[in-house]
Structure 1
């Protein structure tokens, strides 16, 4: 299969591919998604084939506006409309009771479905033109770091899908927040661009699912993408070092092997760059700028796949604000191999 490289002006072509049951890489503000017609079970099955994704990992349906919720969901609570008004279009997915027309292939057999209205205007226009909800996980092969540019996605999906639409680099850089509205209190299943603090400002009490801070065990069924499996991982094993930035940087400097890769904050690059020829170093961004760190994290992890580093060591921020999403992605990339200093 030849993968077509499309631009923002090719929305009609991308929509036609989706309507015909094909796969399209679509830009969002979070990461690039691998999109298919979310009402076509066969097209959705091709997503799993292209990614090598486990079949029990549910997908998210993307819609261009909140009014489309009523097409695919039932018993929609008032909390959903309040969240949509506050944060849509934007990096937030809501788990809601699904209608029967949503295929089991999308929901992994669950009676709920994740719904999102992305902020990227090109993405929303493609969905409008296709006139179908777009099922779209991140556009990487399963387990690898998510793509935040069309180039990243092409590395994984060239020859596997029909087309990729280049909408520029992603402005958020980590996947959407997932909030389950089918339980009381609502439950955060995956942290993302909309923070736990922002959710609580609208909903009041919000519980945090244990899967945010650990992997699901055998027999535990995921209600949302990314909850169960080792995720976001480069080829080399990752160790996350958590704690006050100066201490975590010093720990990595003392314990990393000479050929190990390092992901660190701006302020501590000088600890490692003197031996850059032997030890590749990736800049995560300033220690105090978590939004910048979120935009860099997947690019940093992916970059080491082009090297022969035997291991990767990573600093991480605290869990306030979007820091919870960054630490979640790093910890999952590391298989929750975390050292506290």
Structure 2
């Protein structure tokens, strides 16, 4: 098992030596390497078994630091950075030459954000380098929201796990960029579209689902448990799978009396923030249960519900 601790000096030393460190953020735990060290970045792809065409997000401690590695030319994106950084917002902007092509999968734009976690901000200030850090889990699997999740999946691949407790958002950052002079959301995430639109007006959704992503987290099949996951009307799904052991992921007060079901309620009070916080945790628990299938229902398609539904749809795609 990998060592877990709160020593940012030790984490910084490992990262400067080209090693991998799992870092806490408010969204999920990231598998971090020095973004300027191509050998270290390559080890991220190898550890996660992540395809090289899927770009990475770089993490920095401030917008001033971000300017060293990316060009912020659009006033709308600058306004978003000023409003929501540190926070669960990633901006897709033109990269500078010092960012290796491996980080961006050969694309001319880099995804960059300032995470809202005191321990990781302390680490980023100590090393004063960008950290490439996708979620700290095997590629395509459920993202980790606590140190033990990382240790269970990547203990032999990571040199240290920086323990920042539970992630308090629970789903990945929202990715925003410019396309055809329009502000576009390329990945739904922990910052609701409604909050973005309060600052800069209407945005367009461009949620690519293909093998040619423009931003991280756009692949069609992603965030998935190992067990088959089905989305729909729970009563119908439970009847359809009545001969099996079932894990049910639901939202709001539900009366499910079938003995073959284990229930994971994202939020009995229909709180979308609580649901986001519980999503990946409950997907893991369902996967670890003795159930044969996982059944779930979609949430209201508003606020964080949009991002939760996006994760569920990608998890259910085979």
How far off is 1:195 after superposition?
1.0
Deviation track 1:105-141 (CA, whole Å, cap 9, x = no partner) reads: 1000000000100111111111111111010000110
C-alpha spacing 1:117/1:250, structure 2 compared with 1 (3 Å): same
8 A Cα contact 2:35 2:103, kept in partner: yes
8 A Cα contact 1:234 1:301, kept in partner: yes
The answer to whether the aligner puts 1:316 opposite 2:298 as a matched pair is: yes
What is the aligned partner in structure 2 of residue 245 from structure 1? none
How far off is 1:237 after superposition?
0.9
The answer to whether the aligner puts 1:118 opposite 2:118 as a matched pair is: no
**Distance of 2:113 and 2:17 partners within structure 1:** 22
2:71 to 50, 69, 74: 74
Paired residue total: 317
The answer to whether the aligner puts 1:46 opposite 2:52 as a matched pair is: no
What is the aligned partner in structure 2 of residue 238 from structure 1? 229
8 A Cα contact 2:185 2:207, kept in partner: no
Q: TM-score, normalised by structure 2?
A: 0.95
What is the aligned partner in structure 2 of residue 244 from structure 1? none
Equivalences for 1:99-178 in 2 at 5 Å?
99-178=96-175
**Distance of 1:284 and 1:75 partners within structure 2:** 38
Structure 1, unpaired ranges of 5+: 242-247, 337-341
**Distance of 2:22 and 2:231 partners within structure 1:** 30
Structure 2, unpaired ranges of 5+: none
C-alpha spacing 1:90/1:210, structure 2 compared with 1 (3 Å): closer
8 A Cα contact 2:57 2:133, kept in partner: yes
**Distance of 1:20 and 1:303 partners within structure 2:** 35
Match of 1:151, SS? Answer: helix
What is the aligned partner in structure 1 of residue 263 from structure 2? 281
Deviation track 1:178-200 (CA, whole Å, cap 9, x = no partner) reads: 00135421110111111111111
The answer to whether the aligner puts 1:228 opposite 2:227 as a matched pair is: no
C-alpha spacing 1:39/1:52, structure 2 compared with 1 (3 Å): same
What is the aligned partner in structure 2 of residue 251 from structure 1? 236
The answer to whether the aligner puts 1:187 opposite 2:184 as a matched pair is: yes
C-alpha spacing 1:315/1:126, structure 2 compared with 1 (3 Å): same
**Distance of 2:314 and 2:12 partners within structure 1:** 33
**Distance of 2:130 and 2:204 partners within structure 1:** 29
**RMSD of Structure 2 on Structure 1 (CA):** 1.6
Match of 2:266, SS? Answer: strand
The answer to whether the aligner puts 1:55 opposite 2:40 as a matched pair is: no
What is the aligned partner in structure 1 of residue 309 from structure 2? 327
Match of 2:261, SS? Answer: coil
Q: Out of 223-232 and 323-332, give the one that drifted further.
A: 223-232
Q: TM-score, normalised by structure 1?
A: 0.89
Match of 1:83, SS? Answer: helix
How far off is 1:334 after superposition?
0.3
Deviation track 1:66-97 (CA, whole Å, cap 9, x = no partner) reads: 11121001252212220011111000000000
